[in-house]
């Protein structure tokens, strides 16, 4: 992660609210955020500076900058550091209406809603070692907010990949608790996922569709950030297990992150390569997401399927020269469990 356009502001007066807001809006406009998203950045900064003055000991610092990750995705990053007593119960203060002073208690709730990532006292040694950090402040508490710049909407597909998918609900049910999605971000990049809502029926369908919706709407986020976004969006549902793959056919690389028992692997000329998922249930108990990088060369094939597909099938049973759609239908028809939803997604990097 690289940081540029770094702006640093001491905060100890009401006038600092307007200064920080104007500077953040200028940077957001320069980066290419829409008017609506820029307005959300302004709200985040306003609430963070106000929080320093009201709850953070009345003194602190705000740092605003642009960040860029290794995939070229950019975000505006806002740090708010103060000398106050800190936040003892984050889940409580993030609820609208909670306040430790005579205010409406909407500040941190608004920051959470408009941020793609929100962390309290993040462990970021690289950041705190930078020269723009004023150690004389002796700030004890920090909040970090990130808002990622959306990619321009791409209405085409990736001509270098061929896809196939097959899915059905549990026999006797009318709603499918599984879901899958392929979202094309530009001519060479797409994000794909198989999602399994816990159980089956209406509640499982709700959880998987909410997760799918986040991938359609927020696919421009880095995968680890997207996983956290999905996790927060589906709290209160049954939860899901999920495998998410970010595919770049220009660099022939695949990035993968998984939670739960979605079976995920790549078929290569040298054999099967399993993709690692962590245990847990998204929406309930999820470890910090990890993203793993793999080569995804022409001729390689990605397979993702839910646990509604049995482990009896073997890759060598199929003709991988056949179309991904034909193979997906064979797997679903011959190897799905009779007591569960079932989904399989196949993506081939064509020669």
Helix (H), strand (E), coil (C) string for the chain: CEEEEEEEEEECCCHHHHHHHHHHHHHHHHHCCCHHHHHHHHHHHHHHHHHHHHHCCCCEEEEEEEEECCCCCEEEEEEEEECCCCCCCHHHHCCCCCCCCCCCCCHHHHHHHHCCEEEECCCCHHHHCCCCCCHHHCCCEEEEEEEECCCCCCCCCCCCEEEEEEEECCCCCCCCCEEEEEEEEECCEEEEEEEEECCCCHHHHHHHHHHHHHHHHCCCCCHHHHHHHHHHHCCCCCCEEEEEEEEECCCCEEEEEEECCCEEEEEECCEEEECCCECEEECCEECCCCCEEEECCCCCEEEEECCCECCCCCHHHCCCCCCHHHHHHHHHHHHECCCCCEEEEEEEECC
pLDDT greater than 50 at residue 100: no
Predicted local distance difference test score (pLDDT) of residue 317: 84
Predicted local distance difference test score (pLDDT) of residue 103: 38
Per-residue model confidence as pLDDT tens digits over 191-244: 999 999 999 999 999 999 999 989 988 888 899 999 999 998 898 899 999 999
Predicted local distance difference test score (pLDDT) of residue 91: 55
pLDDT greater than 80 at residue 327: yes
**Regarding predicted confidence, which is higher, 177 or 72?**
177
pLDDT bin (cut points 50, 70, 90) of residue 138 is low
Per-residue model confidence as pLDDT tens digits over 48-58: 999 999 888 89
Which CATH architecture is the domain 2-148 placed in? 2-Layer Sandwich (3.30)
For the segment(s) 161-349, the CATH number from 3.60.40.10, 2.60.40.10, 3.40.718.10, 1.20.120.530 is 3.60.40.10
Per-residue model confidence as pLDDT tens digits over 104-126: 334 577 788 888 888 888 877 66
The lowest-confidence range among 142-156, 211-225, 254-268 is 142-156
Where are the domain boundaries for CATH 3.30.565.10 in the chain? Answer: 2-148
Where are the domain boundaries for CATH 3.60.40.10 in the chain? Answer: 161-349
């Amino acid at each position: 992660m690289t940081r540029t356009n770094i702006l640093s502001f001491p905060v100890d007066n009401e006038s600092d609210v307007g200064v920080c807001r104007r500077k953040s809006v200028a940077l957001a406009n320069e980066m290419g955020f829409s008017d609506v998203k820029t307005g959300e950045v302004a709200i985040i900064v306003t609430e963070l500076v106000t929080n320093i003055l009201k709850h953070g000991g009345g003194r602190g610092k705000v740092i605003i900058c642009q960040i860029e990750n290794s995939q070229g995705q950019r975000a505006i990053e806002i740090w708010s550091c103060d000398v106050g007593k800190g936040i003892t119960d984050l889940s409580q203060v993030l609820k609208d209406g909670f306040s430790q002073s005579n205010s409406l208690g909407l500040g941190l709730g608004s920051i959470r809603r408009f941020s793609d990532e929100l962390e309290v006292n993040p462990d970021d040694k690289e950041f705190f070692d930078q020269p723009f950090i004023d150690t004389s402040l002796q700030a004890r508490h920090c909040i970090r907010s990130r808002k990622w710049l959306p990619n321009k909407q791409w209405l085409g597909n990736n001509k270098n990949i061929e896809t196939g998918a097959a899915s059905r609900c549990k026999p006797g049910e009318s709603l499918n608790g599984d879901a899958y999605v392929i979202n094309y971000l530009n001519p060479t990049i797409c994000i794909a996922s198989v999602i399994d809502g816990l159980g089956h029926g209406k509640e499982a369908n709700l959880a998987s569709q909410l997760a799918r919706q986040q991938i359609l709407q927020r696919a421009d986020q880095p995968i680890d950030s997207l996983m956290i976004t999905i996790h927060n969006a589906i709290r209160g549902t049954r939860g899901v297990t999920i495998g998410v793959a970010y595919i770049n056919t220009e660099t022939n690389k695949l990035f993968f992150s998984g939670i739960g028992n979605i079976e995920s692997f790549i078929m290569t000329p040298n054999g099967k390569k399993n993709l690692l998922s962590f245990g847990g249930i998204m929406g309930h108990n999820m470890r910090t997401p990890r993203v793993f990088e793999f080569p995804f060369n022409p001729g390689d094939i990605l397979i993702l399927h839910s646990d509604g597909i049995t482990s009896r099938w073997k890759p060598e049973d199929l003709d991988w020269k056949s179309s991904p759609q034909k193979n997906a239908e064979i797997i679903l028809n011959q190897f799905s469990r009779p007591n569960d939803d079932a989904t399989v997604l196949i993506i081939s990097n064509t020669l």
